[in-house]
Amino acid sequence: MRVADVLRTKGSEVASVPPQVSVTGLLEDLARYNVGALVVVDEKGTLVGIVSERDVVRRLDERGAELLTVPVSEIMTSPVVTCEPGDGIDGLAQTMTERRMRHMPVLEDGRLVGIVSIGDIVKSRIEQLESDREQLESYIAQGS
């Protein structure tokens, strides 16, 4: 299974924020979209970072309430680790686990075409295992 297969099921819509939006604005968007991370895209549509709830919590501990007024560009992760639609799910799962990442933007020819979460990966792997199990049961049933 490939990243493109996950995006086909999930969809390719990606919520984003500009680098100059405040952390308060970021939190409002995270709640509105009910997501754990947003990609940061500049005025040209170029991916420049990613910022998550985890980033906010860690920086809030360091900087206190003042953090809510600073731009997202001060707390985002950059450069961003990305994948491509043709990448395999198994390799992606390994990378996300090793790097302790929960979200990975998908780029095609340098253009943002989606985002996958560790939950998307787990869901796709469970679906594949279920499909494999059904095929084995069918094969066994036909052989008896």
Taking only the tens place, the pLDDT of each residue in 91-105 is 999 999 999 999 999
pLDDT digits over 36-85, tens only? Answer: 999 999 999 899 999 999 999 999 988 999 999 999 999 999 999 999 99
Sign of CA dihedral 109, 115, 55, 32: positive
* Global pTM value: 0.84
CA distance 28 to 38: 11
Q: 3-143: which CATH topology?
A: CBS-domain (3.10.580)
Query: Strands 37-41, 16-17: parallel, antiparallel or unpaired by DSSP?
Result: parallel
